[in-house]
Amino acid sequence: MPHHNTVFRDILKLMPWRQFEALVEEHDADARVRRLPTKLQFVALLYGQLSGASGLREIVTGLSSHEARLYHLGAAPVRRSTFSDANANRPFTVFADLLALMMKQAHRGLRRKMAEAVYLIDSTSVRLNGHSADWAQLSAGVCGAKVHVIYDADADRPIYAAVTAANVNDITAAHQMPIDPGATYVFDLGYYDYLWWAALDAAGCRIVTRFKSNTPLDVVEELEVAAGSNILSDRIGFLPVRQAKSRCNPMQDAVREVRVMTDTGKVLRILSNDLDASAENIAGLYRRRWAIELFFRWVKQTLKITRCVGTSENAVRIQIAVALIAFLLLSLAQATQKAVRSPLVFARLVRANLMHRRSIQTLIEPKSIPQDQSQLSLSLC
């Protein structure tokens, strides 16, 4: 009978271990550590994400139950107290830098012009308990963190992620985000800031967002719209010259307003600095925002970041970074086989077979996947 590694082992093979070890050394993460090196901590956290474990005890118990197979993973059972201390005290920058490295490597393989890139920007909240009040208190009795993401709509994966307390405004985090000149950026009202828009515009980026309901437009040209479409109007004009306290608006160039009727009857005022594309194209780009919402839902429901294994800022940042790394690894692993096309179904099969000795290519026989099941999309999360 042929030998097979566990499914978990096959997924770990996709890790850039050489770069990981370089980051551990760079951040001196294993200094004065005897019992739980950074690699073992990472493997334990990744096991928790892929297995759906809801807390430290479940991770520790699960690893102990598979002790005989951990040797081939380069891992070993962990003690809960030691594990908890590592999550609280080991520099989260090791895991954040590893995530950034893996996102960059995954994105590098895409061969296309930057003008064709469509990036979606948004954030999602993670509810925390009262033990995190010292750094993440949002209001009386409510604590939380935010994950700010730039998502590549065509590659279906994040290219940038940052974690803040929930009381940090979205646009404050956006000012720290990298800008790829020439790319298209799509975002919602949380990023309503003329100064940031002007920076994107100066970098040659296309902007697609929404007008606030009270923002006037000094119209200079009315464009023709197709009869019978959901495009109500298409106009070119200028934003207000002055802002509050008589400040000069840095967004001085002409912009586009496309008014769209949604299927529910709501009218959206979509703003863009692209004066040449069709109104349908602008509206279509804004509709693509739904992809990042599906990504957040998938990560929360499949990787269980709504249940944190620690309460400190360091522990939460580490867990979120490892959850996003798990998403990237699942994407890479799914690409190695063709039988399961749905990311959701593939993630469930990995969870069910994580410590079984079988190949990823044979998680399930193609003929045993119902036709409708194989077509599942992230929208079913």
| Residues 342-358, mean pLDDT to the nearest whole number | 92
Q: Give the pLDDT confidence score for residue 109 in this predicted structure.
A: 59
Place of tokens 């209001």: 139
Residue 113: pLDDT band by 50, 70, 90 thresholds? Answer: low
- Please tell me which residue, 304 or 188, carries the higher pLDDT value: 188
Mean pLDDT in residue range 199-226:
94
Percentage of the residues of the chain whose pLDDT score is greater than 70: 91
- Higher pLDDT: 372 or 79? It is 79
Choice among 4-18, 27-41, 47-61, 360-374 with the minimum mean pLDDT: 360-374
pLDDT at 349 over 60: yes
pLDDT at 115: 61
Q: What is the mean pLDDT of residues 154-178?
A: 94
Q: How far is Cα 91 from Cα 38, in angstroms, rounded to an integer?
A: 10
Helices (H), the chain: 7-12, 17-26, 38-51, 56-65, 67-70, 80-89, 93-108, 133-136, 170-174, 194-202, 279-287, 290-303, 313-334, 343-353, 371-374
- Per-residue pLDDT at 3: 54
Q: Which residues, 6 or more positions from 374, have their beta carbon under 8 angstroms from its beta carbon?
A: 340, 341, 342, 345
Asked which of 69-83, 187-201, 356-370 is least confident by mean pLDDT, the reply is: 356-370
Angle at 167 between CA 162 and CA 173, to 5 degrees: 35
The Cα–Cα gap between 278 and 25 comes to 52
Q: How far is CA 5 from CA 11, 45, 168, in A?
A: 10, 20, 44
Could you tell me if residue 245 is left (phi over 0), alpha (psi between -120 and 50 degrees) or otherwise beta?
left
Asked if residue 336 has pLDDT above 50, the reply is: yes
One-letter amino acid identity for 129?
N
Answer with the residue of higher pLDDT: 365 or 306. Answer: 306
Task: Please compute the mean of the pLDDT values over residues 323-332 and round it to a whole number.
Answer: 94
**78-82, 305-309, 357-361: least confident range:** 305-309
